[in-house]
Structure formats: C-alpha cells, structure tokens
Amino acid sequence: MNNERLKIFLLIVLVFLFSITALAQQELFKILTYSGKVYGCTLPSQNWHQIHIGESLNRNYRIRLDKNSYTALMYKDGRTMELLSEGTFDIPELERNINETKKSVTQKFANFVAQEIIKDKSVKKEMKTIAAVVRVKPNHIECAIPAFTKIMDSAIKLSWYSYPQSAQYVLSILNSDGALIYMDLVNDTIYTLNSSSLNLSKDIAYKWFIADKNNSQVTSDTNTVIFLSDEIKYSIIDTLKLINDEMGPNITPFNLLALAGFYENNDLNNYALEQFERVHVLAPQSEEYKKLFAKFLLKNKLFVRTAELLQDNNKEQ
C-alpha cells in the first residue's frame, strides 16, 4: 500500500514538473521586426545572441536593446508591443504590461499589420523585378502619388517624375464617363487640383493623366481621384480622432503603420503613403517594414518609389 502511494506521489510530482516546464517553454511573444542592435538570451544562460525575425520568446527569455535600437513583438493572442528604449526586458514583465493595456481601435489595425508581416514572404524578389522594368520603360511618365486615392481635403497635389527632354506637360481631367472636362499647361511636375475652383462633384471618380506638350506619345497612366463628401468624411474623421487620442504623443513605427492601415482600408492612399514614409524614417533598417511599404507601393503603381526603396536597401546591405 505504501508503495502504491509512493508511486502516485511520484507521478503527481512528475506531472507537476512537466507542467511547469511546458509553461516555461510556451511561446508568449514572437519577434516581428527590429532595427539596430537587439539581443536575446534564455535564462539562466547569459549568452546573448542577435535576435532573428520570427524567433519565439518564452517565459525564460530576456531581450536587450542597445542605444537607438527598436523591436516590435507579437503576443500570443495577436496583439503587438514595441520596445523603443535602451535596456533589458524580461518576458514575464512584458506579458504583464501588455495585459494591462486596453484593447483599442489602433490595436485592431496593428494586429492586421502584424499578420501581414508574418505571411509576407515574396515582396523582395518582386521589388527587384519591378525596379528593372522601371529603368527601361520608354515614353512613360511615372506618377508620384497613388494611382487611386480618395481625398478628404478640397484640393490635392498631383505629382509626377520629370521625363527627359520634357519642358512642359499637359494635364487632362476626365469625368466618370471618360469625357475631357479640363486641360492645363504645366511647367512643373506638381499641380494643385482644387475641387472647388473646378466645381468638381463629391464622391465621383475623376481621371487624370499627364502628357508631354510636344509629344503626345509620352504620357502617364490614367489615375483616379475622388473628393469625399462631408457625410463620408466626418465618419472617417470620428475614427481618426479615436486613433489619434489613443496614440497621443506616442508616435511609434507600429502606431504609424496602424494609421496607414486605417487610411488604406478606406482608400485614402495619399494619406497612407505619408505614414509609410514616416515609418521608413523612424525604422529605416527594418526589412519587414520595407516589405510592407513595397507591397503598398506596387499595389498603387508607384514603381519609381519602389526602385528608390530598393536602392536604399542595397546601400544599407
């Protein structure tokens, strides 16, 4: 009888120890991206190693950031967390911090960004292909704003890249039926299109393109802009206010990516582009953020900007 009790006791101890070990080894966070010098180690070891993307972090893990470094983590439930300051952080401490954080509108879009980072594996190769095409494309004027965008303002700055030997450009505006409603001669590569002065209707798609004044075969793609009505605009502004209130002064790469995701989700691609540019300035070494940026650029036919991003990438490597 005593032997039976001893066996049961030992079994309980083994189950308990197994449970403790399994709990310690459970993945709590995953590395999404980093910039600068970020290291990790598994306790009780003090052997620090350079972290890698996708690395799993359990309860025994410790992470260290040197000066001017940054990393973004994804928690097991899909929420995200950023480490922005120099120092050493234990994973249980980070778990407590994230569980004390309230769920928010910003986090909703941040979660979407995190999932995009995890599943996105092919953009870098595609970037190289597009960059090669851009360099040899003849008789084509490349636009510098998204090919399709909705606008909350009453005016938009249309912009494009200068074409060799082109001194003047002709801007053409078409209505939703494809009829020409406006033309203007432009000496620059920027033109402010004002919906009020041209009496353009709200929530209607207008097409625009650029051509060389002296050679109509040198032309851009046809792009689309929609000026939003106050009714639609105010509903977007209400959500934007929530996001900005949640972010406060805490301007981080992931917050800006969440904002870019919100804009892109509402086809406000011009505003999304601004946020991606800000992210690239804040975390220029993050390969994952560059891939997200490149994916956005390719989707919006901004091939020259994609090539520039690739060139920056090659210089850093």
List the domain boundaries for the chain.
2-100, 102-317
The yes-or-no verdict on residue 127 having pLDDT over 70 is: no
Q: What is the distance between the alpha carbons of residues 156 and 192, in angstroms, rounded to a whole number?
A: 6
What pLDDT is recorded for position 148? 98
Q: Which residues of 111-144 are buried (b: 16+ CB within 10 A; e: fewer)?
A: bbbbeebeeeeebeeebeebbeebeeeeeebbbe
Query: Which pLDDT belongs to residue 260?
Result: 93
Q: Is the pLDDT of residue 246 over 50?
A: yes
Mean pLDDT (whole number) for 267-286: 94
- Residue 131's pLDDT band, with cuts at 50, 70 and 90, is low
CB 143 within 8 A of CB 208: no
Q: pTM of the prediction?
A: 0.79
For domain 102-317, the CATH class is: mainly beta
Residue 93 has pLDDT above 50, yes or no: yes
Residue 274 and residue 196: Cα distance in Å, rounded?
24
With bands split at pLDDT 50, 70 and 90, how would you rate the model's confidence at 15?
A: very low
The phi-psi region of residue 258 (left if phi > 0; otherwise alpha if psi is between -120 and 50; otherwise beta) is alpha
pLDDT of the residue at 22: 40
Alpha carbons 151 and 268: distance in angstroms, whole number? 6
Per-residue pLDDT at 316: 54
Burial of 53 (0-12, 13-18, 19+ CB in 10 A): middle
Report how far residue 205's alpha carbon sits from residue 133's, in angstroms, rounded to the nearest whole number: 29
Element (H, E) at 31: strand 29-35
For the cut 70, the answer to whether the pLDDT of residue 315 exceeds it is no
Residue 154 has pLDDT above 90, yes or no: yes
pLDDT digits (tens, 9 = 90+) for 178-223: 999 999 999 999 999 999 999 999 999 999 999 999 999 999 999 9
Residue 228 has pLDDT above 90, yes or no: yes
Write b or e for each residue in 227-262: b if 16 or more Cβ atoms lie within 10 A of its Cβ, otherwise e: bbeeeebeebeeebeebeeebeeeebbbbbbbbbbb
Q: List for the chain the helix, strand, coil content (%; round to 5).
A: 40, 25, 30
Kind and range of the H or E element at 16?
A: helix 2-25
Residue 183 CB coordination number (10 Å): 10
- pLDDT at residue 174, as a whole number: 97
Name residue, tokens 């301007």. 251
pLDDT reading at 84 higher than 80? yes
Please provide the distance, in angstroms rounded to a whole number, between the alpha carbons at the two ends of the chain. Answer: 70
The CA-based angle 128-157-139, given to 5 degrees, is: 45
